[in-house]
Amino acid sequence: MLARPSLPRFSGSFKNFTVSISTNRETGIEDRYCVFSQGSRSKVFEKLWLKLLWDELSVKEINLLFQCELDSDLNFSILKSINVKGKKHTRNRLNLLFPDGKYSRKRYQGFKRLDVEIYEFQSYLPKLPKFSGWIRSASATGSKKQSGGSSELDTLTNIEYKDEIIVNWFYLLTVVDNSEISQWVFQSQPDED
């Protein structure tokens, strides 16, 4: 069994977080990654995305990135575009779509200074109490009475509608001509840390 590391190899202040990789209920062992970094969790994943675009990721970095950061349509479309058109084409399109430099080589060079260490360790899962299915009496299962609540339907809450533009990122990254892409220029949102 791999023990959890206590300190990173780099000097200075650091932050750490753990990510579950796999859980095996039969053996009661959970595999996890412990990540030490000089930046926040969001900065670590931003560095990994830039490293994916401009460099090569290690196996641990790929597993960590795919465990946590495939939640947005843009991220998934970037991966599909890299698979279909290649990294160079995808980087060029991202730099055209986001001219503020969110996916630029210069930004990646700045993120290279961020120290990140990933360790794999295993931990035991807590023992679950066994349940045989036997109940002492009918009164132990709870009340058989109907709830005394109102039979009225709950009032509907106000639904807020947002004016959102649904963007087909994969189409923009792979199909659209460079002359048409100027109407789809986006400004990235400021990071919240």
Note the pTM of the prediction, 2 decimals: 0.71
Sequence-distant (6+) residues with CB within 8 A of 116 are 35, 36, 37, 38, 44, 47
User: How big is the CA angle at 169 (ends 166 and 174), to the nearest 5 degrees?
Assistant: 145
Q: For 111-128, give the DSSP string.
A: HTTS-EEEEEEEEEPPPP
- In DSSP terms, 112 is beta-bridged to none
If one compares 6 and 43, the residue with the highest pLDDT of the two is 43
If one compares 182 and 173, the residue with the highest pLDDT of the two is 173
Task: Provide the 3-class DSSP secondary structure of residue 29.
Answer: strand
Q: Give the pLDDT score at 158.
A: 62
Q: Give the pLDDT score at 68.
A: 75
Averaged pLDDT of the chain? 80
Sequence-distant (6+) residues with CB within 8 A of 85 are 173, 174
Report the percentage of the chain scoring pLDDT > 90. 25
Q: Are 54 and 24 in contact (CB under 8 A)?
A: no
Q: Are 22 and 136 in contact (CB under 8 A)?
A: no
If one compares 168 and 61, the residue with the highest pLDDT of the two is 61
Q: Give the pLDDT score at 155.
A: 56
Phi and psi torsions of 4, nearest 5°:
-75, 130
Tens-place pLDDT, residues 47-77: 999 999 999 999 999 999 888 767 778 888 9
Q: What burial letters (b/e) apply to 123-150, b meaning 16+ CB within 10 Å?
A: beeeeeeeeeeeeeeeeeeeeeeeeeee
Phi and psi torsions of 169, nearest 5°:
-65, -40
Tens-place pLDDT, residues 98-142: 888 889 999 999 999 999 999 898 988 888 777 777 777 766 666
